[in-house]
Amino acid sequence: MVSLPNQWDQMKSALKPNYFEMFRVPSLTPESVPDDGEVNKELVLLHNMANHEGWKVFLARANQVMEDLDELVRGQMSAGADEASIGRSTVVKEITKDVIRRLLNIVNDAYDSIEAGGANRGKVVG
């Protein structure tokens, strides 16, 4: 007779502590103003974008998408979906939300980085 592993043992080993670290995308790493004060053109453009009304609309839409993702998983739970389906959906939801947050943070961090150094900090390069 073949014995199956205990369900709790599977759950404990399903996600490693560094699981989400596997999804670190280099192009989603925010930039900051270097110590020498030179600001690249992309950082300035991202900073400027944060000042536009369109950014606020986009930010609200992105936040709504993240709330909708949460609601989809809650809907699965309410509908009585099995644990495996809910678990998979939750992992996908969290990875997706993390990528969305990192994209939003690129703009927010550019804004904060330039503002922290003053509006006219350094020389724009690039």
Q: Let me know if residue 22 belongs to a domain.
A: no
Domain count of the chain? 1
Question: Does a structural domain hold residue 43?
Answer: yes
pTM of the entire structure? Answer: 0.67
Other beta carbons within 10 angstroms of residue 115's beta carbon come to: 13
Is residue 119 a part of any domain in this protein? yes
Domain-located, residue 49:
yes
What range does the domain containing 59 cover? Answer: 36-125
Per-residue pLDDT tens digits of the chain, which is 126 residues long: 444 444 444 444 555 555 556 666 666 565 555 555 566 888 899 999 999 999 999 999 999 999 999 999 999 999 999 999 999 999 999 999 999 999 999 999 999 988 887 544 444 444
